[in-house]
Structure 1
Amino acid sequence: MNHSTILLIRHGETPWNAVRRLQGHTDIPLNEEGQRQAAALAGALLEQGVDVLVSSDLQRAMQTAQALSRVQAGLALQTDARLRERCYGVFEGMLYSEIAEQYPDDYARWQAREVDAVMPDGARPAESFRQFYQRCLDAIAGWARRHPGQTIAIVAHGGVLECAYRAARGMSLDSPRDFQVKNASINRFVWDGAQLQLEHWGDVAHLAASVLDDII
C-alpha cells in the first residue's frame, strides 16, 4: 500500500490565542500576526508539493489554509468539521484564569487530564478528550485512506495536532503534554495504512525567516 504524507499544520495566531482565552468551537478569525504567519507558511510549503489541502471549517483554520491555496495553482481547499478543535462547552470564551476561579472542580479535572470528564455545556455540548481524540483520528485516517501515496496538508487546531502526536508516539491520553504545539507550525507524519508515524515535529523556521525579511 502506498503511504500518505500528512503535513499537519496549526492555524495562525488569533486575538484569543494571544491572551489565553479558550476558543474551542468558537469561530475566531486570525489577528494581524496570524495573517503574517499564514503568508510565511504558504511560502514555506511552495516547495513541499502538496496534492490535497483540507482544513477545519472554523475560520482561523480556513484563513490559514486559504493563504496556501492562493499561492498553489490548482490546489482547491476542502473543509471537514471533524477537524475542529475540541468543544469545551461553557469554558469557551473564558480566560484560563476565569475558568479556574468560576469552575474550580471542572478545571481541576481538566488539568488532571481526566480523559472522560466533560465540562458543563455552553452554547454547544462539550466533549470529553477521549471523544475528541477519536473524532480527530477518524478524520485524519479518512483523508489518508482516500489519498494513498499523496501529500495531504491538513490545517487544524492545537488539540487536533496533540491527538495526532499522541497516536504516533503511542502516548496514553492521560499523560502530561510535554511537547509544544505552535501556531503555524508544520508537523510531518506518514500514514502507513494502519497508523500515523511521526517524522518531524514543530517546524517554525519559516516564521523566523519572515521576521528577518521584514527587518531587512
Structure 2
Amino acid sequence: MRLLLWRHGRTTWNDIGRFQGHADPPLDDTGRAQVAAVAPLIRAMNPDVVVSSDLQRCRDTAAGLGLPFRADARLREVDLGRWSGLTGAEAAARYPEEDRAWRTGEDIPRGGGETYRDVARRAGELFDEVRAEQASAASTPDPLIVFVLHGGTARALIGRVLGMPPQLWWHFGPLANCRWSLLRLAEGGFRLTEHNAAPLLTGKVGRAGSGLSQALLPSQGAPTESDTEPVHLPK
C-alpha cells in the first residue's frame, strides 16, 4: 500500500506570504500551471482512490487529475484562528508570544485554532478509514491512495503515519506548492520513500511567461510561512 500526499498549487496568498489556514483563496495563474504540469504524472501512477481537502485550492488541484475524487474536511490545513489572513510580520507584531513559541517548535493553537496534534488526529482518522476500505477491496496488490491537501496537514500526517513523536515533525521540510510525498507500507510499517518530489520541467504553457519551467521554480512554488511552516529558531 502507498500513500501519496500532494499539496495544492499556488494561491495569491502563498505568493504574498499570508497565512491561509481554513481560509479559501483560489489557485492563481501559477498554481493552475503547476497543476496542469504535475497532474498527468500523478494520474499515470494509477491512483486507486483520491481524497481532497474540501477547500477550493485543493479541490481544484484534485480536479486536474481528471479522476473521480471525494472531498473531506479532515484534510483541511491547520485552523489558524485569528492568524488567518495575516502576513508573517503582522502575526509576529500582533501575537509576539505565540509567534516566538511557534518558531521554537512548540505545538500551540495559534490564534485560538488547532495544534498539529489535532490535525494529525483528524487526518489520521481519515487515513485509517481509507486504508481499511482499500484493504477490504483488495482490487490491486499495491493500492495507491492519493490525498490532495495542505503543507501543514501533510507534515502532521507524515509524522503520524511513521509513528514519530510530534516534537520531531518539524524536521520534515514543508512541501512546496504542487509537490508530493510518498509513503510505502513495508515490513515493520510505513517508510517515507519520496519527499518534496516534483518533475524537472521545461517548455511553455499558456501565455508568455507562464512556462512549465517557471511553474515549479523555488521563487514561485517553494514552501512559504503562509502555509504555517516555520523556520525554527534555537530555543
Compute the TM-score of the two structures, normalised by the length of structure 1. Answer: 0.84
Q: Offset at 1:213?
A: 4.3
Which consecutive unaligned segments of at least 5 residues does structure 1 have? 70-74
Give deviations 1:147-183, integer Å, cap 9, x for gaps.
1242111100001111133235554322343524111
Q: Is the 8 A contact 1:6 1:154 kept in 2?
A: yes
Q: Offset at 1:194?
A: 8.7
> Is 1:134 aligned to 2:121, yes or no?
yes
Quick one: which of 184, 197, 204 aligns to 2:198?
Answer: 204
Q: Is the 8 A contact 2:13 2:19 kept in 1?
A: yes
Aligned length, in residue pairs: 200
- For the residues of structure 2 that align with 1:139 and 1:193, how far apart are their CA atoms? 22
- For the residues of structure 2 that align with 1:66 and 1:182, how far apart are their CA atoms? 19
- 2:30 is aligned to 33
- For the residues of structure 2 that align with 1:195 and 1:28, how far apart are their CA atoms? 36
Structure 2 counterpart of 1:163, which letter?
Answer: A
Structure 2 counterpart of 1:80, which letter?
Answer: D
- 1:96 is aligned to 88
Quick one: which of 123, 136, 158 aligns to 2:151?
Answer: 158
Quick one: which of 97, 117, 120 aligns to 2:111?
Answer: 120
- For the residues of structure 2 that align with 1:140 and 1:23, how far apart are their CA atoms? 23
Q: Is the 8 A contact 1:164 1:196 kept in 2?
A: no
- 2:230 is aligned to none
- 2:180 is aligned to 186
Q: Offset at 1:193?
A: 10
- For the residues of structure 1 that align with 2:22 and 2:174, how far apart are their CA atoms? 21
Structure 1 counterpart of 2:46, which letter?
Answer: G
Quick one: which of 58, 63, 88 aligns to 1:61?
Answer: 58
Q: 1:52 to 1:193 in 2, by over 3 A?
A: farther
- For the residues of structure 1 that align with 2:124 and 2:68, how far apart are their CA atoms? 23
Identity within the alignment, % = 29
Quick one: which of 72, 79, 87 aligns to 1:80?
Answer: 72
Correspondences of 1:101-112 after superposition (within 5 Å): 101-112=93-104
Q: Is the 8 A contact 1:56 1:81 kept in 2?
A: yes
Which consecutive unaligned segments of at least 5 residues does structure 2 have? 136-141, 206-210, 213-235
